[in-house]
Amino acid sequence: MLSNKDIVIIGAGHSAGQAIISLKQKKYPGKITVIGDEPWYPYQRPPLSKSFLSGDIDRERLYVKPVQYFDDLNINFQFNTHVERIIPEKNIVQTRDCDFSFDKLIISTGARPRKLNINGASLKKIFYLRRINDAENIRSSLKKNKSIVIIGAGYIGLEVTAIAIKFGMNVTVIETQDRVMSRVVSKEISNFYETEHEKNGVKFIFNKKVVSFKGDKNVEQVVLSDQKCIKTDVALIGIGAIPNTEIVNHTKIKTDNGILVDNKCCTREKDIYAIGDCANHWSSIFHKNIRLESVQNALDQAKIAVDNICGVNSIYDAVPWFWSDQYKFKLQIAGISEGYDKTIIRGDKEKKSFSCLYLKNKILIATDSINKPKDFIQSKKIIAEKIPLRLDNLTDPKIELKDLI
């Protein structure tokens, strides 16, 4: 029997959407209040740098459920409302205008783009990408202008690059490291993506920092650490994200690159949970705290938090996974490659369908697959169960990974 407790959810993003769905599936009888500082029902962000940015899908398709689904729920949605702080001892959430009391609280405040605070940063036509209106503004700018400088060769930067190319723009990508996506993929995968982008006309500048922007009203030039200037009509900054944790400042809830939670997504306050991009959880797989920025993590953590709120003892120990779409290439990543001691390439680079397997002490810890979904799917299970692979035939793509255990 579920208890009739009031739940408040802070943030109305992707993980909040799943928390609502899970609470409704469990026929949760208590009052549910969702407070979000955007004007929208929970929506998916991945299309913001892909099909929504290109204009291939419209806004309605972003919502995690059709608008009617949310309209029909008996939920107190508070849009355009920013939560200032929480007061755990009083079980209160404070906004500027009023207080909301809770029995159980889910914090799902996500993350915000890391800012580049340099001279000229407030010029017009310099963009960050996190929200629907960011994507709409960028799209309209891509349509009207000829050149763009992308700062940061991570997922978001490279996905926007591919769309800007589709719009016929001249694209220059500037990166402080010596290759693309260096934080997350091996050199082989970086090389593949650099080559494909270059074939489409993208220019890369590696090992350089952006030190300032120049322009009158709009950005006109991007200045690099060697004082070289690159002329541009538009700039996009994609240099990572910072978790939104400020609302727990001055409470006993600890933060360290995110709100610290255990493997049940619970903070050190027993009725307060944190999920999604804002949470830094204890991983039973990796035996350390990790903060993930992915849809899989947002959805899985929402389900775990709701289970535990509803009295079902659930533990979060999923293998992380992620994807990125650039041109016609789908990159799917299972696991976390940090600490690998060997990589093995399987498949056909020429046919643009291959995987990079990351091994540590002969155990598979991560797989990056490009247009090779079977390797990705089978890797998830092998990584989760730490099953040793027979290494002799690993490079033979005709033999499936599951037949090598």
Among 7, 22, 34, 38, binds ligand FAD (CB under 6 A): 38
Is residue 161 close enough to count as binding ligand FAD by CB under 6 A? no
Is residue 48 close enough to count as binding ligand FAD by CB under 6 A? yes
Give the x-and-dash track for 69-88 against ligand FAD (CB under 6 A): -------------xx-----
Is residue 12 close enough to count as binding ligand FAD by CB under 6 A? yes
Give the x-and-dash track for 285-314 against ligand FAD (CB under 6 A): --------xxxx-x----------------
CB of residue 271 to ligand FAD, shortest distance in Å: 18
Among residue numbers 220 through 249, which ones bind ligand FAD (CB under 6 A)?
244, 247
What totals of helices (H) and strands (E) does the chain contain, helices first? 8, 26
CB of residue 67 to ligand FAD, shortest distance in Å: 16
| H-assigned helices in 263-309 | 295-309
Is residue 54 close enough to count as binding ligand FAD by CB under 6 A? no
Among 129, 185, 266, 366, binds ligand FAD (CB under 6 A): 129
Among 276, 320, 335, 347, binds ligand FAD (CB under 6 A): 276
126 DSSP β-pair partners: 235
CB of residue 396 to ligand FAD, shortest distance in Å: 30
Among 142, 150, 156, 304, binds ligand FAD (CB under 6 A): 156
Find, among 2, 3, 11, the residue nearest to 273 by Cα. 11
CB 127, CB 145: distance < 8 Å: no
CB of residue 299 to ligand FAD, shortest distance in Å: 9
Is residue 15 close enough to count as binding ligand FAD by CB under 6 A? yes
CB 357, CB 343: distance < 8 Å: yes
**Among 13-21, 181-189, 377-385, 389-397, the segment contacting ligand FAD (CB under 6 A):** 13-21
- 113 vs 397, which CB is nearer to ligand FAD? 113
Is residue 108 close enough to count as binding ligand FAD by CB under 6 A? yes
Among residue numbers 310 through 349, which ones bind ligand FAD (CB under 6 A)?
322-324
Is residue 277 close enough to count as binding ligand FAD by CB under 6 A? yes
User: In this chain, which residue has its C-beta nearest to ligand FAD?
Assistant: 13
Residues that bind ligand FAD (rule: CB under 6 A) add up to a total of 36
- Residue ranges binding ligand FAD (CB under 6 A): 10-16, 35-38, 45-46, 48-49, 82-83, 108-110, 129-130, 156, 244, 247, 276-278, 293-296, 298, 322-324
